[in-house]
Amino acid sequence: MYDDIAAISTPPGEGGIAIIRLSGSGVIEKASKIFKPRRSEIDIRQKEGYSMTLGWIINAEGEAIDEVLLALMRAPRSYTGEDVVEIHCHGGILPARRCLETVMRQGVRIAEPGEFTRRAFLNGRLDASQAEAVIEIIRAKSDKSMQLALKQLGGRNSEYIHTLEDRLLELNAMVEGSLDFPEEVGELEYDRAEAIIRELIDIIEQLIRAGKRADVYREGITIVICGKPNVGKSSLLNTLVRKDRAIVTSIPGTTRDVIEEQIIIKGIPVWLMDTAGIHVTSDVVEKIGVEKSQEVIREADLVLFLLDAEEGITDDDLEIYRSIENQNLIILVNKEDLEEKNITSREINQHFPGLKVIKVSAKEEQGIEELEDSIEEMVLGGELQSDDLEIMINLRHREALLRAYQHLQDALQELDQVTLDCLGVDVWGALEALGEITGKNLREEVIDRMFQDFCIGK
Amino acid sequence: MIYNAGSYDVIVIGGGHAGCEAALASARMGCETLMITLSMENIANMPCNPSIGGPAKAQLVREMDALGGEMAINVDQSAIQMRVINTGKGPAVQAIRAQADKHEYHNKMLKTLLNQPRLKIVMAEAEEIETRGGAVSAIITRTGARFSCRAVVITSGTYLKGRIIIGEIAYDGGPGNQFPAIKLSDSLRRLGLQLGRFKTGTPPRIYRRSVDFSKMIEQPGDDLPLRFSYMSPRVTRTQHSCWLTHTTPATHKIVMDNLDRAPMFTGIITGIGPRYCPSFEDKVVHFAHKDSHQIFIEPEGRDTEEMYIQGLNTSLPEDVQVKVLKSIPGLENVAIIRTGYAIEYDYLPPAQLRSSLETRQVEGLFTAGQINGTSGYEEAAAQGLIAGINAALKIQDQEPLILKRSEAFIGVLIDDLVTGDIDEPYRLLTSRAEYRLLLRQDNADLRLTEKGRKIGLVDDERWRVYNEKKTRLEHDIGVLKKQTYTPADLDMSNFLESKDSADLKDRISLWELLRRPEIRIKDYTEMGWLNQEDEDILEQLEIQAKYEGYIKKQEEQVRRFEKMEGKLIPADIDYDEVFGLSNEARHKFKQIKPESIGQASRVFGISPADINVLLIYLEKKRRK
Ligand SMILES: Nc1nc2c(ncn2[C@@H]2O[C@H](COP(=O)(O)OP(=O)(O)OP(=O)(O)O)[C@@H](O)[C@H]2O)c(=O)[nH]1
Ligand SMILES: [Mg+2]
């Protein structure tokens, strides 16, 4: 009956678990495309209602985004009365958002405020006496999200959005003017149209990038230190945290559990994790520690991979590297203070081509500055603008911006390939997507703009 | 002294473009119909530019034709020029535009009306709408005739309290110096209807022989056998040219020097005018950086001396109009036949109407055309047709004909009117339609003929032509889809090479191949792959194949949108009872009274939360 919707249904920043709830007739099918069950023989499409399945949410490349518990409820026996899938992420809000974005890519849209409750009501899952309560929820949620959206539209954001809107209106007015008033407006000025589309694409790219950077400041990142036993991981944690947090000894296998500390690096909140040295072991406790290390490594935003300068690159190192080479990586050559060095830059290039490599000494606190700079650069992706911090884009806005972006890319492709009426579909689509952010009556605005820009009339 | 002058099913007040369609539709649907007009000479008059069609408007004309309306046939028979506008910009916006012989258009329509069984025309001024129990019961004329009836369609155009303004001079009058309709406005007000005031204007008309055409650029028509109506024969008509000239800095100076005498600026004119049809003095003031504007000189008919000056609507004093004209190249020795004027008139803000064009206030009272705040002959006629149809359906105790936004430009037009805040004379634009690619002038018959047949307006001959076209079209689509070629096919390779088109990679059907821009349907008939000569069918095949992707996309959007359109809001809903509605929404809904959730969501300023609240209220009501 209705289309498929999704939302993160736990408040952000609370607890380690975030739940993404999906509802609609297509959600089980769509979830099956992005969910890889731990037991590969399971097909969630065959599952009964009220079942739970352990597995991973995977992206388009088949890589795991987060380990999750997937709960499935079938219509009409669910909260909304439709098929419902709940994805319980335990990596906190960041992986949860990534999961949600993956879900959205399957053609599931973000729910409006209170939409789950509304569906529950309309599908007869709540009785009539609850109608008022449902409306309270809808009103409260949408008013709150309006306030939030308004706040977010203040400052630099509104300037960007204003420019976007202005150019899109101009572009639409050019196209529509040429179609509706061909004699007065004449042919579309293709050069001008192309320039506007390129400018728009550029602004949206900047906004999305800045938004991502702002997310990093707001929500923080996880960095995991990994490497073979005794390479100096705990020492590095202590150095970065600037206190003796982890036990440091010369005995390999000292650290057995994941140690987590929160620090600020260049203004970015960082959850820093020290892990048990990865190697083959028969010690039961150590073994659990190693498995756990591997798990946190998979979920990390950034991995610091330590090598021992004195020992040189060993087979163990290369084995570990193979298991983490798809992650965001910085290679640290530790114990740089020691006399004897057995790692050449040739070797590094050969084994870890194209990666950032920094020579450090965890003990003597050498190279730490460079490490911090590199971390900042890695997570923010290069150039940083001072006004980034003011740019906050919520997921709904981002979705709208991405849709506008896609339409503009299509329009650019089509520009002189298709007839103007078809081009109009994408140019209009871009404006409509933006309209979801600004909430204006766009048809009238375009018509107003047409009369403002062109001398129309017989 | 009021006397009983007869009894009718439907009375149409007004004989303009809306009135003609309304009266014909009603009579053709079997209702005893009376048309009351101020003057026989003004039946189907074109007081502005005698031109019909163009973007969005051509679609309207074709849609009316498919439903069994008259405008298309009438203009086909009286056109002195036809052109295709927007060629090369895509089928959705391509549009025929015709220049009609004003007198012939009037004569032909008058003849059709006079020959229509069950339709009578009477020349009179309708003064009073009589009601009984909230429903119309009769119309009383100024001279005391009482015509009883069960439904009324008012198509009073710009006649209601019409007031003509030329410079410092202002007097009561209808368009073209006719009598205005003074009393009807008061009758409408007494019935509880609200009226507003709009303004529009026309340019001066001049003698053909006073124009020096050597200083102008000729604009010939297209030598193609064009036609609006699917029923008209394809004829290539003698094309009468239009002529292009332009204003000069001297023209603009004359305007600027006389602004203190321009009623637009002195405050004599208070009604709101249309932005897309501004007065020339407006254009000069608002686009001060432009030192020249285009002026088209267009013949008003085949044999008439009268020429229309497109681009020069004005209510400047007559002496200034003369000076302005003489400053334009080619018009140095101009002689004026009619002076340009502005006209102010009462209109009925259309939020007071249902989608059937019946007023919510008075049962059986319909309004159509300029009285509803629109402009344009086509917009008027389209509303007239729908109002006439719905008046007849009402009398036959049947559901009204309401076209959806996704079905017809007529649907877009009426939906915009009844849900919108119309604050200037409304003109239809293709940009107002969400599903423009579906609402093309080429497929109006495929979209609407069946509906026209169902209500009884499509006669057997039109029905036969339609069915034949449809059958042949479906047959040919089958042929093109079935006929496939592989990369190994020699005939095909040679053909592609001759068209500068890339080699095939896989097996492909002729239908799919048609998506390539360089491949045209005519190539197929030339190659003998398709046996079809009918231009309409060839055009249809080509459009449907080439734009299939876009068309499918829009059809998908329509399916989503239709869910909301299908959720009806009961007419007796009490918005004060709807808990949780924002004050703004409550106010707007009370005023506009949307008929479906879809309409409600299009009301300006309504948030998704308001729509949700409304949905929940309706569901709660349903369960009780
Ligand atoms: N000279 C020198 N010694 C270091 C450096 N970093 C660590 N060490 C020494 O190496 C030994 C192991 O250090 P840890 O930090 O415990 O190593 P780890 O990688 O955490 O080891 P496990 O927890 O056992 O996997 C200790 O004796 C440290 O003092 C360094 O930069 N230079
Ligand atoms: Mg350790």
3-state SS, A63-127, equals CEEEEEEEEEECCCCCCCCCCEEEEEECCCHHHHHHHHHHHHHCCCEECCCCHHHHHHHHCCCCC
Is B125 within the bounds of a domain? no
Q: Is the pLDDT of residue B78 over 60?
A: yes
Our count of domains for chain B comes to: 3
**What is the structure's pLDDT at A17?**
72
CA distance linking residue B17 with residue B387, whole number of Å: 12
Which tokens in the block code for residue B264? 């637009």
> In B, residues 426-485, which contact A (CB 8 Å cutoff)?
429-432, 436-437
Regarding whether B607 and B529 lie in a shared domain, the answer is: no
Lowest mean pLDDT among A390-399, B139-148, B209-218: A390-399
**What is the structure's pLDDT at B244?**
93
Regarding whether B538 and B575 lie in a shared domain, the answer is: no
Is B279 within the bounds of a domain? yes
Regarding whether B619 and B491 lie in a shared domain, the answer is: no
What is the distance in angstroms between the CA of the first residue and the CA of the last residue of chain A? 48
Omega within 30 of 0 (cis) for the link into A76 = yes
Q: Is the pLDDT of residue A441 over 70?
A: no
Please name the member of B429, B436, B604 whose beta carbon is closest to the beta carbon of A421. Answer: B436
**In this structure, what DSSP letter does residue B80 have?**
E
**What is the structure's pLDDT at A390?**
47
Regarding whether B276 and B303 lie in a shared domain, the answer is: yes
Last residue of a domain, one of B497, B522, B551: B551
**What is the structure's pLDDT at A386?**
44
Residue B23 pLDDT level (bands cut at 50, 70, 90): very high
> In A, residues 2-31, which contact B (CB 8 Å cutoff)?
3
Regarding whether B253 and B330 lie in a shared domain, the answer is: yes
Q: Is the pLDDT of residue B162 over 50?
A: yes
Which tokens in the block code for residue A19? 């739940």
Candidates A419, A441, A450: best to mutate against B (most CBs of B within 10 A) is A419
**What is the structure's pLDDT at A16?**
62
Residue written as tokens 């010369």? A250
B135-141, strands of its sheet edge to edge: B3-7, B145-148, B135-141, B126-132
Report, as an integer, the average pLDDT of A315-334: 91
B341-347, strands of its sheet edge to edge: B169-172, B163-166, B341-347, B196-202
What is the dihedral sign for C-alpha B44, B46, B51, B55? negative
Q: By 3-state DSSP, what share of chain B in percent is helix, strand and coil, each rounded to 5?
A: 40, 20, 40
Tens digits of residue pLDDT in B516-564: 989 999 999 999 999 999 988 999 999 999 999 888 888 887 887 787 7
Contact yes or no for A180 and B437 at CB 8 A: no
Residues in A closer than 8 angstroms to B85, CB to CB, are 182-183
Torsion of CA B323, B329, B334, B340, to 10 degrees: -60
**Domain architecture of chain A: domains with CATH:** 5-111 (3.30.1360.120), 141-216+394-441 (1.20.120.430), 220-379 (3.40.50.300)
Report, as an integer, the average pLDDT of B579-598: 88
Q: Is the pLDDT of residue B453 over 90?
A: yes
Rg (CA), chain A: 27
CA distance linking residue B536 with residue B547, whole number of Å: 16
Q: Is the pLDDT of residue A94 over 70?
A: no
Percent pLDDT > 90 in chain A is 32
DSSP characters for A377-390? HHHHTS---TTGGG
Q: Is the pLDDT of residue A34 over 90?
A: yes
Percent pLDDT > 70 in chain B is 100
Pick B613 or B189 by higher pLDDT. Answer: B189
**What is the structure's pLDDT at A136?**
74
Last residue of a domain, one of B307, B341, B375: B341
Residue B612 pLDDT level (bands cut at 50, 70, 90): confident
**What is the structure's pLDDT at A384?**
46
DSSP characters for A211-237? HHHHHHHHH-EEEEEE-STTSSHHHHH
Residue nearest to atom 14 of ligand 1 (CA): A232
Regarding whether B571 and B545 lie in a shared domain, the answer is: no
Contact yes or no for A444 and B604 at CB 8 A: yes
Residue A13 pLDDT level (bands cut at 50, 70, 90): very low
Is B473 within the bounds of a domain? yes
CA distance linking residue A379 with residue A216, whole number of Å: 8
Is B411 within the bounds of a domain? no
Is B228 within the bounds of a domain? yes
Closest CA to B54 of B95, B9, B89, B107: B95
Instruction: Please tell me the pTM assigned to this model.
Output: 0.79
**What is the structure's pLDDT at A381?**
66
Regarding whether B590 and B547 lie in a shared domain, the answer is: no
Regarding whether B507 and B619 lie in a shared domain, the answer is: no
Q: What is the CATH number of the domain that holds B273?
A: 2.40.30.260
Q: Is the pLDDT of residue B586 over 50?
A: yes
Which tokens in the block code for residue B117? 């069984």
Range of the domain at B271: 205-341
Residue nearest to atom 11 of ligand 1 (CA): A250
Q: Is the pLDDT of residue B577 over 90?
A: no
Per this entry, what is the length of chain A?
A: 458
Q: Is the pLDDT of residue A93 over 80?
A: no
Is B190 within the bounds of a domain? no
Regarding whether B330 and B303 lie in a shared domain, the answer is: yes
Tens digits of residue pLDDT in A263-308: 888 777 788 888 887 776 777 777 777 788 888 888 888 999 999 9
Residue written as tokens 């409820």? A73
CA distance linking residue B316 with residue B130, whole number of Å: 41
Regarding whether B600 and B543 lie in a shared domain, the answer is: no
Regarding whether B545 and B594 lie in a shared domain, the answer is: no
**What is the structure's pLDDT at B615?**
86
Q: What is the CATH number of the domain that holds B613?
A: 1.10.150.570
State which amino acid sits at residue A133: A
Report yes or no for ipTM above 0.95.
no
Is B120 within the bounds of a domain? no
State which amino acid sits at residue A142: S
The mean pLDDT value of chain A amounts to 83
Is B331 within the bounds of a domain? yes
Last residue of a domain, one of B307, B323, B341: B341
Ligand 1 centre and the CA of A265: distance in Å?
Answer: 22
Regarding whether B322 and B244 lie in a shared domain, the answer is: yes
Cβ-contact B14, B178 below 8 angstroms: no
Q: Is the pLDDT of residue A262 over 90?
A: no
Q: What is the CATH number of the domain that holds B546?
A: 1.10.10.1800
